[in-house]
A and B are shown apart, each in its own frame.
Chain A
Amino acid sequence: MTPRLTAAVLLGAFILVPALSSHALPKYAQKAPSVKPGQDPSASAKDEIPFPQVPRITGEEVERIAKEKGNVVLVDTDDPEAYAAEHIKGAVNIAFDPTVEAKEQDQLLSALPGDRLIVFYCNCSHEEDSAPMVLEMWELGYDHEKVKALKGGLTRWEQLGYPLAGTDVDKNQEKGN
């Protein structure tokens, strides 16, 4: 007769948690708490800036480097539909998706050139979606000083009046004409 193991067998007990919950995000990809009612938004942004280890670069600085050296790669982290509608002129699209393993984006991310400044941006207030992509680039071995997040993202770029492209931009230009 086969002897029975006296101890119970420990299993993985791999507990499913809902996708899109904050638990589903890698530690580095979790967003900062939102601004509470009555709280000064600017103070919140200062105190609770997400991913503070990720260096930011201003739109003005990006525009200056692009004009002087022309060696900036801009990466839009919105979904493809939003990118198609509006993006910074010349930007490529690699969508940030917190529900898939960050490594699944590695083939795309590692295709970005290693000899130029790479600036990720999102259509969000505090670089919540672009900063995690910067961290993933570091994991892939890219130089820290060559990969940054655009401060203020697409909104700030628009405010500065810098060039945009996309179907929405084309429609607005047609209306203007």
Chain B
Amino acid sequence: MSRWAKQIQMQCNIPAIGVASSNIVHYATGYVAKYQTGMPIRYVSVPFPFTGQPRAVDVGYVSGKDMLTGQPLMGAVVGALTGPLTAEEKISGAAPEEAIEPRLLPPDSEENLRMLFEDREWTDFNSIILPTERRVTEMLKGTSHKPDEVIKTINITGGARQLTVEKVAISAVMAGASPEHLPVILALATQAPFGNSTSSMANMVVISGPIRNKLKFNCGTNAMGPYNRSNAVVGRAFALMSKTAGDLRNNVNAWETLGNTMQYNSMCYGENEEALPDGWDPLHVETGFKPTDNVLSVGTGWSSIASVGASQSIYPTHYLMRDYMSSFCASGSAATIVIDPTVAGLLKDVHGFKTKAQLSEWFSQNVTKMNASYWGNGVIQSTAVPFALAGLEPYASWRKLPDDALIKPFTNPKAIHVVVAGGKVQTMWFVTDFGIRRGVKIDDWA
């Protein structure tokens, strides 16, 4: 909002202010005061939440008081637009440069250094391996890439940070990884930082190709549980590099109201490629890689529902999956279904899905959702509504349907991915609303 208000001021040469809810306005004002030049954007504030409230409540906010000054809201709006500049607002020129952290900290006791890392939030608050110079140097032996090579530049609030190979190696050490894990973690770094929204966003990391066996990633029993080192350290490194390079600090710029425990290791697991039914390709092959390529794929989403109990013939498994999927927001038509090899076998041999693509197509055609339920989701409101108003189909037509009409919101079967993992112990599966991005070749980072 600060950005848009500033743009209106500069382009139209008229004063602009922001009206924001009380839960985020301090973030917005801090950002503007710290990083923008010229007069900061002024704000007035209303209580939160205002979406989902009866209209009378929102009207009450407008006739009520500004949460920042305690003045009547509309008076505060006029005051913010017309009030003379304060001394602080008259400051112009570039914002002072941030103090750059030293590359090396002075020696100290392990206890003190751990406390320092916790104070600065350079940790996920599980115990870390302190990244000494010797340990990081050893870690860097896991790649041929130079330590100062910039993998990507991460845009953070008010600036940008360069994520180098050395910084990723630091996160790898902290996570407890070994040098042979580094190419995987460097490939993962190309996708950093992980998602950060006010909702409980989380990630999924899927490892494909021969490297799963070489590094002993768990693709079988307990693939998603705390039973394997490679799954644990690679997934954890994503959280650590996201928090440090992505500058994510609780209540400063990380605002997930409930958070998500999946962020601790980002559901890192390998696909059980050896247990795929004939005709079902691994995830990375489906997305254009060779079977012999070592690939890491990252998914992003919010929701995950696990099945309970064994599959029953009275109601086929894919029907249950379909029912569960209907509760997802279907943003971007995205879903990722993780299924045990036994379920994959049933789906192929009993129900006739000869490929993963056929199953995805079936979900696209058969998952239905009540129209009001679709539009009642906040993510859909912010993405599909502008498209509907601009006349883009199918959104424009869906907006005109009655609330109880059934729509098929998973319009793009290619955004519905199926991954096979698990140990054939039970006919279990997860459905998630995670959208998977194109994979990254791990060998490029060896």
Contact = CB atoms under 8 A, between A and B. Distances in A.
B232 interface: no
B119 interface: no
A9 B132 contact: yes
Interface residues of B, number: 73
B244 A14 contact: yes
Contacts of A91: 390
Interface of B: 4, 7-8, 11-12, 35, 97-98, 100-113, 122, 130-136, 152-155, 158-162, 166-167, 170, 193, 195, 244-245, 247, 287, 300, 331-334, 379, 382-384, 386-387, 390-395, 411-412, 414-415, 435-438
A93 B386 contact: yes
B224 to A, nearest CB: 23
Nearest to A87: B390
A26 B159 CA distance: 13
Given A5-B130, A14-B167, A15-B161, A141 B104 contact: no
Main secondary structure of the interface of B (DSSP, over half): mixed
A81 B7 contact: yes
Given A10-B132, A12-B167, A110-B333, A24 B107 contact: no
21 contacts: A9-B130, A10-B132, A11-B105, A13-B167, A14-B161, A18-B159, A19-B158, A21-B160, A23-B153, A24-B155, A80-B4, A90-B391, A91-B390, A92-B387, A99-B155, A108-B383, A113-B393, A113-B394, A114-B414, A140-B332, A140-B438
Given A11-B101, A14-B244, A18-B159, A6 B382 contact: no
* Majority secondary structure of chain A interface residues (helix, strand, loop or mixed): loop
Interface in A80-101: 80-81, 90-93, 98-101
B437 A139 contact: yes
A67 interface: no
Nearest to B163: A14
A13 B152 CA distance: 15
Interface in A1-43: 2-19, 21, 23-27
A14 B159 CA distance: 11
Which of A5, A21, A73, A139: most chain B CB closer than 10 A?
Answer: A5
A106 interface: yes
Contacts of A98: 155
A142 B296 CA distance: 18
Q: Which of B112, B247, B332 has the most CB of A within 10 A?
A: B332
B104 A10 contact: yes
A79 interface: yes
Interface of A: 2-19, 21, 23-27, 73, 79-81, 90-93, 98-101, 103, 106-115, 138-143
With a 10 A CB-CB cut-off, give which of B159, B300, B415 has the most chain A CB atoms: B159
A6 B107 contact: yes
Contacts of A26: 152-153
Contacts of B105: 8-11
A101 B157 CA distance: 10
Contact of A101 (B101, B154, B170): B154
